[in-house]
Amino acid sequence: MPVDLITLSEDGLYCPAGDFHIDPWNAVPRAVVTHAHTDHARWGCGKYLVAAPGLHLFRTRLGKDADITTVPHGEVVDHNGVRVSFHPAGHVLGSAQIRLEHCGEVWVVTGDYKLDPDPTCLPFEHVRCHTFITESTFALPVYRWETADVLFGGVNGWWRANRAAGKCSIVYAYALGKAQRVMAGVDASIGPIYTHGAVEKVTRAYRDSGVELPPTTPVSEVVAGAKEKGKGKSKAKPWAGALVIAPPSADGSPWAKKFEPKSEAFASGWMCVRGARRRRAIDRGFVLSDHADWPGLLTAVKESGATRVLATHGFASVLARHLREQGLDADVIATRYGDDDTADAGEEAEA
């Protein structure tokens, strides 16, 4: 039986033959990273190897002094005899699956991924392999995503109704990836789009990477302008009829109170489950996720051609059990990765 190309160490997924970690959860000498969400791209590693389209995001997250080497999608890097390549994951800008080949064995680590179309990043690419390490965030049959036209038709209808009522529309969406997907999907002719500081910071990195997005204005600039004109007493309310995009951490905060009268919505795959919107005490819940739904996960596994599948984070045991019932060698590999709504909560405080 061949030796495992990837094992689980105290620092995360480790490739012994290549002597590097993949998405380590601690600082390590060499990190090969799938994407720029901070539960996968940890600060403080000695060297980083990433897919080229994500460079601006990694610089934004890791800092200008981080030692980052980029590789175009599909190009092979030989590291201690292990052939490493990146392939689009469709999760967020620059996200990639990592393919490893050594001594005739091919493994793929998906990181986070989705199969749904997304104008802000490259589409998921099916990669053939022997062993497939897949995320399983939404690995339950109940999780099935709507098409983009249905989803954003709902968002636009809600925004228009709020504008007609003189209300501000606030969408709480993860600052990296989901917020930009909301921008790209809505009808920007309805009204102006304002952004929380954490969202705007990431959006600049998207624009610098060549992603086309509608015009946005940071809320902080509007507030500063109003104070300068009226010494903080301006009666102008530019928020009425506007769309404000903010991270989930802003929900219920003093920052959000300035937009009254307002209607609040949450964009997340968790909104697929009855009661999730009620628990958050918001007006609307839009089912929008940057992860694969149940059919997407099963399609990715099938198209990989893998005979061995290791599921990680989320409903990993459910997916592994289902795949075993289909005749695959499937198991769970425990990792510390988060989900798309909580992974970067500590970085979303900027207003």
Between CA 312 and CA 111 the distance in angstroms is 9
Asked if residue 95 lies in contact with residue 88, where contact means CB atoms within 8 angstroms, the answer is yes
The pLDDT of residue 248: 95
Both tokens of 304, joined, read 């990989």
What is the per-residue pLDDT for 224? 78
Instruction: Check: CB of residue 103 under 8 Å from CB of residue 18.
Output: no
Q: Residue 55 corresponds to which tokens in the numbers above? A: 């460079």
Q: In this model, does residue 88 exceed pLDDT 80? A: yes
CATH topology of domain 7-142+290-347: Metallo-beta-lactamase; Chain A (3.60.15)
- CB half-sphere exposure, 173, CA atoms < 13 A: 30
Rounded mean pLDDT of 278-307? 93
| pLDDT of 49 higher than 60 | yes
For the segment 267-272, the average pLDDT, to the nearest whole number, is 94
Least confident of 2-16, 255-269, 313-327: 2-16
If you search the block for the tokens 């628990």, which residue do you land on?
Answer: 279
Reported as a single tens digit per residue, the pLDDT across 137-164 is 999 999 999 999 999 999 999 999 999 9
Is the distance from CB of 300 to CB of 126 less than 8 angstroms?
yes
Contact between residue 171 and residue 155 where contact means Cβ atoms under 8 Å apart: yes
Whole-number percent of the chain with pLDDT over 90: 87
pLDDT-derived band at 344 (thresholds 50, 70, 90) equals very low
Task: Work out the average pLDDT over 66-91.
Answer: 98
Instruction: Evaluate if residue 99 carries a pLDDT over 90.
Output: yes
Mean pLDDT for the chain overall? 92
**Token pair of 168, please?**
């501000």
Mean pLDDT on 316-330: 97
pLDDT > 90? residue 274: no
Q: What is the C-alpha separation between 174 and 78, in angstroms, rounded?
A: 35
Alpha carbons 13 and 340: distance in angstroms, whole number: 20
Indicate the domain borders of the chain: 7-142+290-347, 148-286
CATH architecture of the domain 148-286 equals 3-Layer(aba) Sandwich (3.40)
Lookup: tokens for 253:
């905060």
Q: Which of 56-60, 72-76, 208-212, 236-240 has the weakest average pLDDT?
A: 236-240
Choice between 95 and 340, residue whose per-residue pLDDT is larger = 95
pLDDT of residue 336: 84
CB 15 within 8 Å of CB 35: no
Q: What is the tens place of the pLDDT at every residue in 172-230?
A: 999 999 999 999 999 999 999 999 999 999 999 999 999 999 999 999 999 877 666 65
